[in-house]
Amino acid sequence: MLMVEQPGTADQILVRKLNTARILECLRRLGPLSRAGLSTATGLNRSTVSSVIHDLIEEKYVREIGLAPSERGRPGMLLELSPDGGFAVGVELGVDFICVVVTDFVAHVLWRQRVASDPAEPQSAIMARAESLVQEALAAGRSHGLRPLGIGLGVPGLVDILQGSVVFAPNLKWHHVPLRRMLADRFHPPVFVENEANAAALGEYYYGVARKVESLIYLSAGIGLGGGIIVNGKLFRGSSGYAGEFGHTTVDPTGELCGCGKRGCWETVVGPRAIVRRVRKALEVNGQESQILVLVGGDMSALDVAVVVEAAKAGDPVARTALEEVGVQLGIGIANLINAFNPEMVVLGGALSLAGDFLLPVIQATIREHALAQPCSAVQVAVTAHGPDACVLGAVALVLDSILREPAI
């Protein structure tokens, strides 16, 4: 951690912290930059930039990488965030797996482990496995000669971020699990716990497809449909931390029963299960011809979004129709979100990203039809850059966010 070298008033320390955060943020988004370039980009004077950069280089958060070739006058030394700033541990507690990664300060993966788990197992057994993986991860990070910056956890459920506890994870059937306290009792680095979609949204913002934008909506389809909202570079969590549950907005009050206990939620018509259900109906009820049956070897229980996408790529009409219908329903919901939030970007993650080639054109046509023209013209719809790693890299982003936003200087 950076230390304050000279005594200063609380105001001076705060200003220094804000300036440091601003410089780190500029380097993350726009780097490499020279000191002069940073001064222009941040609006801070050159001596402030030089002084902050001196400390950031000392602490290995920033490094010099060579002279800027095209600058007029005296060439400036280019600066960028340094991988040697430390390492972060990211943990994804999935419904049926645990994935743990170690990354350096610029989110390059140095180590990873993924193990299967069974939601029917006792919580203590799942946590024991997760803790043992974290222990291995910390050893792996230290073996690169780096200092530990923190441990981030992404979990599929409602999270009380002040307590760092899972309030309710429906698919794990966990209630009130104090994850942060459990890990903090055993490990020294700070622990951050966040809902999986919020974490993934932050990961896309920091070093994914949304790196250049300030406001985005992330939609993640796993077993359900989760969402994360970033407004002006910060996660919007709502008053209690539960914002972003778009999957449970009602679209048909008399519709199908949802996992949350209510009827006709959006996730019942656009989630992966809805794609599978449409295909099943076409084959089993309507008796349509499709190569999907061949792809699953006659075992319809093996049907999932990946199979539907594979069939759609081969031109299968049943698969293509199912994806198109879901694309329209997704597009209508996204159009509503665009009208409500006016984001710069909507990012599709989880299983939906597998079907991006088929869903994106339909979603784009549907939002043009249903969203207001002005917010619609400003928005991009994109697929996650992190694919199946969106959540675990998001968990890493929780750690980096804590350093970049509030550098201890």
Contacting Zn ion within 150-169 (CB under 5 A): none
Closest CA to 257 of 242, 246, 269: 269
Stretch that binds Zn ion, among 58-66, 261-269, 312-320, 347-355 (CB under 5 A): 261-269
Burial class (CB in 10 A: 0-12, 13-18, 19+), 318: buried
Task: Say whether residue 223 binds Zn ion (CB under 5 A).
Answer: no
User: Directed axis angle between helix 317-341 and helix 305-313, to 10°?
Assistant: 110
Take residue 76 and report the two structure tokens written for it.
């400036």
Nearer to Zn ion by Cβ, of 197 and 210: the residue is 197
In whole angstroms, how close is the CB of 255 to Zn ion at the nearest point? 10
Nearer to Zn ion by Cβ, of 38 and 219: the residue is 219
Q: How many residues bind Zn ion (CB under 5 A)?
A: 4
Closest CA to 349 of 249, 209, 230, 214: 209
Instruction: Tell me the β-bridge partners of 169.
Output: 174
Stretch that binds Zn ion, among 34-42, 102-110, 242-250, 341-349 (CB under 5 A): 242-250
Residue with tokens 């329903």: 329
Nearer to Zn ion by Cβ, of 83 and 247: the residue is 247
User: Quick one: which of 41, 197, 200, 265 contacts Zn ion (CB under 5 A)?
Assistant: 265
Task: Say whether residue 21 binds Zn ion (CB under 5 A).
Answer: no
In whole angstroms, how close is the CB of 238 to Zn ion at the nearest point? 17
In whole angstroms, how close is the CB of 112 to Zn ion at the nearest point? 32
Nearer to Zn ion by Cβ, of 260 and 307: the residue is 260
Q: For residue 75, how far is the Cα from the chain centroid?
A: 38
Rounded to an integer, what distance in angstroms lies between the CA atom of residue 43 and that of residue 49?
10
Task: Say whether residue 258 binds Zn ion (CB under 5 A).
Answer: yes
Take residue 270 and report the two structure tokens written for it.
């656009």
Nearer to Zn ion by Cβ, of 230 and 258: the residue is 258
In whole angstroms, how close is the CB of 198 to Zn ion at the nearest point? 18
In whole angstroms, how close is the CB of 271 to Zn ion at the nearest point? 10
348 membership: H or E segment, kind and range: strand 345-350
In whole angstroms, how close is the CB of 227 to Zn ion at the nearest point? 12
Closest CA to 152 of 196, 209, 216: 196
User: Quick one: which of 260, 283, 293, 307 contacts Zn ion (CB under 5 A)?
Assistant: 260
End-to-end CA distance of the chain: 8
In whole angstroms, how close is the CB of 163 to Zn ion at the nearest point? 24
46 membership: H or E segment, kind and range: helix 46-58
Backbone angles phi, psi at 233, to 5 degrees: 80, 5
Instruction: Tell me the β-bridge partners of 158.
Output: 168
User: Quick one: which of 17, 248, 278, 386 contacts Zn ion (CB under 5 A)?
Assistant: 248
Stretch that binds Zn ion, among 73-81, 240-248, 333-341, 391-399 (CB under 5 A): 240-248
Rounded to an integer, what distance in angstroms lies between the CA atom of residue 203 and that of residue 194?
12
Stretch that binds Zn ion, among 79-87, 257-265, 342-350, 374-382 (CB under 5 A): 257-265
List residues binding Zn ion (CB under 5 A).
248, 258, 260, 265
